[in-house]
Amino acid sequence: MADDLKSGRIVVVGASLAGLRAAEKLREEGFTGSLTVVGDEPHVPYDRPPLSKQVLLGQATADTTELPVRRNADAEWRLGVRATGVDLTAKRVLLADGESLPYDRLLITTGTRARPWPNPEEAGLAGVFTLRTREDAAGLSERLSAGPERVLVIGAGFTGSEIASACRERGLEVTVAERGPAPLVGALGGTLSKLAAVMHRNHGVDLRTGVTVTALNGNGAFTGAQLSDGSRVEADVCVVALGAVRNVEWLADSGLAADPRGIACDAGCRAFNMYGIVTDDVFVAGDVSRFPHPLFGYQMLSLEHWGNAVEQAEVAAHNMVNPGPLRRPHLAVPVFWSTQFGLNIKSVGVPTYSDHLVIAQGSLEARRLAMVYGFKGRVTAAVTVDMAKSLDYYRHLIETGAPFPPPPGAADRPIAADVPVPSDVPDPSVLSHGPTVALTGHLPDRRLTVV
């Protein structure tokens, strides 16, 4: 049987980071059968994080971020064609060009797309952008190079903040509008969000919090926006950074457990069907998945993290070509990073799965710190600002369920001297920016359900 799994037909739908790494891993694991990777974008797999950093800063062009390969995946790349459905009984993926691809095992890595501005007419104004694809980045970068008078960024999550940071670095005037109380509050909670707000303002960003954008104005081209506090922002470029939407619509009639929160799968990346029964030939990985994690109460995590796309893709690929007893669970602790306003922010664990936090190293004043998050007396996350070398230590605390407040360890002072403060994680529904980590389960004493 194990030999059968190394041959046959595998189709991967989604040709970005997770799809590429899965394809490579399948070959590394000894898969010798036919491998087809389907992608709706007409490009070979490319990297997205540089699009909001190097590309907007003008240090790289959007058409040079293709991902280097680790090995030849010996795959047939069907690029520029959208998958429109899957027939689980006939075991075929349907394509927009009318063709259908038979498979023995299927991997879904369709990821997310930028959440569009809700009014299509306003979204269509020249000068209004989202940022997710190579084309988005090329268009926005070109507009920024032309020297606009002011850029309006809607949403102060990680993407919105990085865009604002890049604009300021290029000397452009920026207004950021966020419905929540501060930037990054949805991902990092109250304390760090205050530092983020200071960083925005110290770098000359016109930061407006507690407001929504009620209308984008312009006659053909964007000229400004109305805010809910009655004010108006005059700007000629607008970047809508409202988070991401999972690419699941094509699975609506498939019978898989696919909804706006993603495609539910087990710890081995096997997709559930709509009855909650696990499939054995359909696998999921990357941003489009949601999966249970034992460190976070077995809640179903949706992660929009680069590292998760790679690790989960590798686990899925391994499990696709190995029999049950040799399969592995996807248990990696979530890690992500963001560089903005000259600070390197890194996070391990799930900061939103917390009730209190304590600063274990450094200080907010120094703009260099390690903050540890706890939930019900256990360490569940840590965030470092310009202290990345400490992150592994805190990952170990999370993995081992260390008590919160944490033991001295890497702390540069007695932790007991610092009183843990509430982590102030807001209800995600009050934010403009979507969360990049969504806890989609339910805690009896604390509602964290999103979407």
Partner 1 sequence: MRTVVDLTRCQGYAQCVFLAPEMFELHGEEGLLYATAVPDDQVERVRQAAAACPVQAILLGEEVSPDGR
Contacting residues toward partner 1, per CB under 8 A: 20, 44-47, 49-50, 53-54, 57, 59-60, 64-70, 72-77, 79, 305-307, 310, 335-337, 339, 342-344, 368, 386, 388-389, 391
- Phi then psi for residue 13, to 5 deg, are -105, 115
What angle do the packed helices 306-320 and 17-28 form, to 10 degrees?
Answer: 40
Comparing CB distances to partner 1, the nearer of 172 and 211 is 172
| Cα–Cα distances in angstroms (integers) from residue 262 to residues 178, 305, 338, 387, in the given order | 25, 14, 23, 33
d(CA 354, CA 17): 30
Query: 138 near 61, Cβ under 8 Å?
Result: yes
Comparing CB distances to partner 1, the nearer of 57 and 227 is 57
| Cα–Cα distances in angstroms (integers) from residue 147 to residues 141, 388, 426, in the given order | 10, 34, 36
> Residue 408 is encoded by which pair of tokens?
């001295």
Comparing CB distances to partner 1, the nearer of 72 and 429 is 72
Shortest Å, Cβ 225 to partner 1: 30
Residue 392 CB-density burial (10 A; 0-12 exposed, 13-18 middle, 19+ buried) = exposed
Comparing CB distances to partner 1, the nearer of 237 and 391 is 391
Shortest Å, Cβ 62 to partner 1: 10
| Cα–Cα distances in angstroms (integers) from residue 157 to residues 49, 71, 308, 330, 380, in the given order | 14, 35, 19, 26, 21
Comparing CB distances to partner 1, the nearer of 122 and 162 is 162
Comparing CB distances to partner 1, the nearer of 306 and 375 is 306
Shortest Å, Cβ 406 to partner 1: 20
Other C-beta atoms closer than 10 Å to the C-beta of 328 total 14
Shortest Å, Cβ 302 to partner 1: 17
Q: What does DSSP assign to residue 435?
A: P
Shortest Å, Cβ 329 to partner 1: 19
Note the helical H segments in 178-257: 185-188, 190-202
Shortest Å, Cβ 175 to partner 1: 23
Shortest Å, Cβ 162 to partner 1: 11
Cβ burial 31-65 (10 Å sphere, 16+ → b, else e): beebbbbbbbbebebbbbbbbbbbbbbeebebeeb
Comparing CB distances to partner 1, the nearer of 39 and 428 is 39
Shortest Å, Cβ 16 to partner 1: 11
- In the sheet with 222-227, reading across from the earlier edge strand, the strands are 213-218, 222-227, 232-234
> Residue 130 is encoded by which pair of tokens?
């989202």
Shortest Å, Cβ 117 to partner 1: 29
Comparing CB distances to partner 1, the nearer of 72 and 219 is 72
Comparing CB distances to partner 1, the nearer of 69 and 326 is 69
